[in-house]
Amino acid sequence: MRACIVLFALLATPLVVGVSQIPPELPGNSACDNGQGDEIRSDSGTVHAHQGLCVPQPPPSTCGAAPAGGGTATITGQVFQDVAPDFPGLENWCVDLTGPVSGSMVTDPSGNYRFSSLPAGTYLVCLEVQTGWHETRPSNGASCPGGLGYSFSLADGDMAGMNDFGVVTP
């Protein structure tokens, strides 16, 4: 019986070590799930973020103060995980708006955001990039604290759409 227990322990140890996950809170790691459980991991036991979805952090408590506008212009866009082929939208990301009126919005479950009832003027739209993530899109544009954003002028009734932000985990 002891021989069976020892034999089992010797055989199981490499398997357990091979599927263990390095905690995401360690530097260089993220809270990622490859969508296929522990079976699909590298030899080192880590999940490859490009194979699945990473869980974003909750937005800061200061996010979500929609601008009080009084105009008729609208700005829309999406925050998405820049991983082919799905490019899934990311919920609970904070998008900031500055201009004649300023505020922020939290993305919905599909990663969409919308600033509406804006007065005419020049606006800057920026993403608050979360810890452990890196902005990939836009690839050029206005300078923002976390990367690049969108700057444009709107007239009454204008709609500026597709102001999208792509992000990945390193």
Query: 49-101: per-residue pLDDT in tens?
Result: 444 445 556 666 678 888 877 899 999 999 999 998 889 999 999 999 999 99
Question: Whole-prediction pTM value?
Answer: 0.67
| pLDDT number for residue 62 | 73
pLDDT digits (tens, 9 = 90+) for 16-61: 333 333 333 333 333 444 443 433 333 334 444 444 445 556 666 6
C-alpha closest to that of 165 among 117, 115, 94: 94
* The predicted structure's pLDDT at residue 57: 66
Give the pLDDT of residue 115. Answer: 96
Alpha-carbon distance of 127 to 133, in angstroms, equals 12
Kindly give, in sequence order, each residue whose CB lies less than 8 Å from that of residue 96, ignoring residues fewer than 6 positions away: 102, 103, 104, 125, 126, 127, 128, 144
Over the stretch 99-152, which tens digit does the pLDDT of each residue have?
999 999 999 999 999 999 999 999 999 999 999 999 999 999 999 998 999 999
Specify the pLDDT at position 21.
36
Collapsing DSSP to helix, strand or coil, 112 comes out as strand
Q: What is the pLDDT of residue 98?
A: 95
pLDDT of residue 69: 79
User: What are the two backbone dihedrals, phi and then psi, of residue 83, each rounded to the nearest 5 degrees?
Assistant: -135, 115
pLDDT of residue 9: 45
How high is the pLDDT of residue 144? 95
Give the per-residue pLDDT at 71. 94
Tell me which of 5 and 69 has the higher pLDDT: 69
